[in-house]
Amino acid sequence: MALLEVRDLDMVFGGVHAVQGLSFEVAPGTVYSVIGPNGAGKTTLFNMVSGIYKPTRGRIFFDGEDITGKPPHALARRGLSRTFQNLQVCMNLGALENVMVGAHLKLSQRLLPAMLHAPWLAKADDACREEAARLMHFVGVGRYVHAHASSLPYGALKRMEIARALAAGPKLLLLDEPAAGLNNTETREIDTLIQKIAASGVTVVLVEHDMKLVMGISERILVLDYGKKLAEGSAAEVRSNPDVIVAYLGGA
C-alpha cells in the first residue's frame, strides 16, 4: 500500500489553475522527487499535502487515511513533517532548542505539572534534549549542539531544520529545496543525509532544482509543468523523456 496517495488534485487561485488533475503514489521507504520549472506547482503541491492549503478538488491519503484539508498540526501528529525553502529558524534560541521545538507535540502541555515542577516532566524534557542532540549529530551538525542558532552558517541551518523536522518522529518527510543556496560540498552532504534518512525508514518526498542530486537519489521522479503531470518514472526514464528534455532539462 502507498504511504502517500494523491488523487485527481486541483488547486485554483482566482483565475490561476496552479495544480490540475494531479495523481500519484509514493511507496513507503523511498525517495520520491518532484521537479519542474519555476511556477510548475511544486510548492503549491507541498502546501496541499502538508495542510497549509485545502485543495479545490481531489483527495489526499496518508497511510491509508483521507487527510484532505486537515491542518498541519493534525498531520504532524499522524507522522507527516516538512521543511520550507526559506529558512524558518528561531534566531533567538540555541541550535539545540530549535531542534527541540520539533518535538513539542510529543511533550506534555499540561499547565499544572509544569507549575509544580513535576519530576516526570523534567525527565521528559531531558530525554527530549538528548534526542535533539542525537538528531543534530545524525544530520551532521553535532558540533553546534551548544551554539546559538544565529552563529550557524547557512548550510548548517539547513540541516538543523531537517533535524527539527525529524524530531517530530515522521513517517513521511517533505523537503522543499533542501539544497537551495548551498555550495557543492554542502549539496553533497545533503545528498548523503537524504539517503541516510530514507535508510532509517522515513519516506522522503523532495522538491529540488539540483538535477544531479535528484537523479542520483530518487527511486521515482514526478515532473510537473504548469500544474500538470508531464512525466513520472525512474531517473533513467525521466532523463530520456523528450517532453521533459524540452520543458525542463534544456533540450531544443
Integer angstrom CA distances of residue 11 from 54, 62, 173: 8, 19, 22
Nearest to 186 by CA among 138, 154, 230, 225: 154
Res 178: pLDDT: 94
Averaged pLDDT for residues 141-147 = 96
pLDDT at 67 over 90: yes
The grid cell for 153 is 552558517
Averaged pLDDT for residues 45-49 = 96
Residue 88 binned pLDDT confidence (cut-offs 50, 70, 90): confident
pLDDT at 104 over 70: no
Domain residues of the chain, as ranges? 1-79+171-252, 87-169
Contact 205, 34 (CB under 8 A): yes
- pLDDT 10s digits, 9-43: 999 998 889 999 999 999 999 999 999 888 889 99
CA atoms of 192 and 159, how far apart (whole Å)? 12
- pLDDT 10s digits, 193-228: 999 999 999 999 999 989 999 999 999 999 999 899
- CATH superfamily, domain at 1-79+171-252: P-loop containing nucleotide triphosphate hydrolases (3.40.50.300)
Res 102: pLDDT: 85
Contact 226, 40 (CB under 8 A): yes
